Structure 1
Amino acid sequence: MPRITPHTHPHPRTHSTNRSRLTPALLSFALLALTAVTVRAWSDRDSPATPSPPHPVRAAEGQRPHLVDNDGHRVAFYVTRGKGPTVVLDSGGGEDSSQWKDIVPRLHAATGATVITYDRAGLGKSDVVPGPWKAENAVSDLRAGLRELGVTGNITLVSHSQAGEIATCLARENPELLSGAVLVDANVPQFFTDEEIPRLVAATQPQVDAARKAPERPENRQLLATAKDFAPAHKAYHKVAWPDSVPATVLVSEKTPFEASPEDARRWREAAASFVRAAPNRTLVTAKSTSHEIPAERPDLVLQEIESMLPAPH
């Protein structure tokens, strides 16, 4: 039996002072929850929208980017070389590679693995690409970087929030690349139902309208790119299936990205549970007392689940 959530099993796996494994399994979830701005905006959606400070352009901690050309633009990758497996850390919506700056050295020290982070197009040191945000384009950028870096398999993919969409598309198209995945409060296809998509669009419309007043800001640019064609893109994403051959652990925040909306929070949890039930090699972990920002609030838990997912040494 797959491992499931507190809502469907009397003995859920959660994390506080103890942990227990049951048996199963992230943004563009809330249109805005794709960015740090979005999460705050959802909680404050009855308040007047106010501009946010510019998103800083930050390189990964002390590293020079390896710039990879793909389809006419450059994408910045950062590599901490190791031996054995490779861990790729993919940031949430509106975040660049520096989201992982505290986790990378700890992960490398604990496992000896090669650790790769990157800035998605329009963030950090990567070039801006005009037009709507598409998971397929992000997958193309990621694959180009992995090819350039000589990474051809044995990858553990760690994806936060919006990056869950990239993970799902990559896993579907190239399952042979992945030995496993850790989806950190990530966007899974099951969440984007015909009932939920209009709720997300309506709830975030005030923030989208506010972003249009300053479209040059990086965080607004990302939000507007995500908002464009959001409904049709996510209707299509809802139909994408994660391959049974790739094991996955899904970390779900206890508060979810929708603290102010119990109905959407319930749907978020149920989507994760549904994803997990679909195959026996998926595990669900509820991170107690956390918001959507699990990597910042519980880096120890993220590290623990990555280490558990790494393939055993030969």
Structure 2
Amino acid sequence: MSRDTSDRRSASRALSALALLALTAGAVTACSDRESASRHSASPSATSSASPRAGQAGGAKLHMIDNGGHRLAFHVTRGHGSTIVLDSGGGEDSSYWEDLVPELHGATGATVITYDRAGLGKSDVVPGPWKVKSAVSDLESGLQQLGVTEDVTLVSHSQAGGIATYFARDNPKMLSGAVLVDANLPPFFTDGEIARLVAFSGPQVDAAKKDPDDPRNRQLISTAESFVQTNKAYHKVTWPDSVPATVIVSEKTPFDGSPEDARRWRGAAASFVQDGPHRTLVTAKGSSHDVPKDRPDLVLEEIESMVAAQH
């Protein structure tokens, strides 16, 4: 084997490991200020108040929701008619959407909701392996307690694609549509791909265990603990035909520099769209996996189109 070939394979392995981080704990792109914010849960006495963070932007109000003994932060910008729920990727809290919320609210007039998943932002930490069904329960409980029961457009990035798929399966009548932004989709997680990701990410997971109190590391560790069984099950889940979905796939994908994995990622998006009615595939030209930051114009356009199409 030539040295050039060996170097390329090593680079591919490293990029695949980084991609797993992006798909699970968001450690590639999470910013230090988000990490700092994630170290603090809201005080037990908090119920609702004006939130000082955008995204949270403008007139957003903080609501602390209890579900099964832990509390979750939901940030609500009130509007009229429909509701847009923004769910960030692994390791990211609600502040990820802070620039998009006022744009969406102004363009659609809809209520816009962001939230912090367990262990992130102002939400309580839940010990143990990450469980997608628990995450779905948190979102369901939050929306129910906020009085949101119908006409929801769900926007999900990266790891939140798994939450969206189970949520749509269990609550199809609540959703009027979804925009899946370079999201984890069932066709991608074949046994072979799961094994590749686990093998490639081992060193990063081991490194994270040296500082488990870091919120991003905590998320990575908890997700890695359940990664195989979670995604083997997820591979078999189907999206309900009654819920329209726009799939935005990044041009570079989470696997920029690893052609085989990038091809599989794009193929999974195409397969998902072809497998059911009312589904559209859009490519975010020039974008990395971080589509909401690289191409906010495109994400805004596709959300607006989805909301408009249902009314």
Same fold (TM over 0.5): yes
Q: Which of 85, 100, 108 in structure 1 is aligned with 2:105?
A: 108
Moved more, 56-65 or 156-165: 56-65
Q: Which of 25, 32, 42 in structure 1 is aligned with 2:21?
A: 32
Quote the Cα distance in structure 2 between the aligned partners of 1:165 and 1:57: 25
Shift of 1:134: 1.2
SS of equivalent residue, structure 1 residue 215: coil
Residues 252-292 of structure 1: CA deviation (Å, up to 9, x unaligned) = 00000001211100000000000000113100000101000
Shift of 1:56: 2.7
Residues 166-200 of structure 1: CA deviation (Å, up to 9, x unaligned) = 00000011111100000000000000001100000
Residues 63-103 of structure 1: CA deviation (Å, up to 9, x unaligned) = 45210000010000000000111000000110000000000
Aligned residues: 275
Quote the Cα distance in structure 2 between the aligned partners of 1:99 and 1:235: 28
Matching residue of 1:289: 286
* Fraction of identical pairs, as percent: 68
Matching residue of 2:169: 172
Gaps of 5+ in 1: 1-28, 41-51
Quote the Cα distance in structure 2 between the aligned partners of 1:313 and 1:159: 18
Matching residue of 2:35: 55
Residues 203-248 of structure 1: CA deviation (Å, up to 9, x unaligned) = 1111100000000110000000110021111100100000111010
Normalising by structure 2, report the TM-score. Answer: 0.85
The amino acid across from 1:235 in the alignment is K
Shift of 1:38: 4.2
Contact 2:101/2:112 (<8 A) preserved: yes
After TM superposition, which residue ranges in structure 1, 4 or more long, deviate above 3 angstroms?
A: 61-64, 311-314
Matching residue of 2:130: 133
Contact 1:39/1:257 (<8 A) preserved: no
More helix by share: 2
Matching residue of 2:261: 264
Bigger RCO of structures 1 and 2 (CA < 8 A, at least 6 apart): 1
The Cα RMSD (Å) is 1.8
Matching residue of 2:3: none
SS of equivalent residue, structure 2 residue 222: helix
1:191 equivalenced with 2:188 (yes/no): yes
SS of equivalent residue, structure 2 residue 191: coil
Shift of 1:312: 4.8
Contact 1:83/1:114 (<8 A) preserved: yes
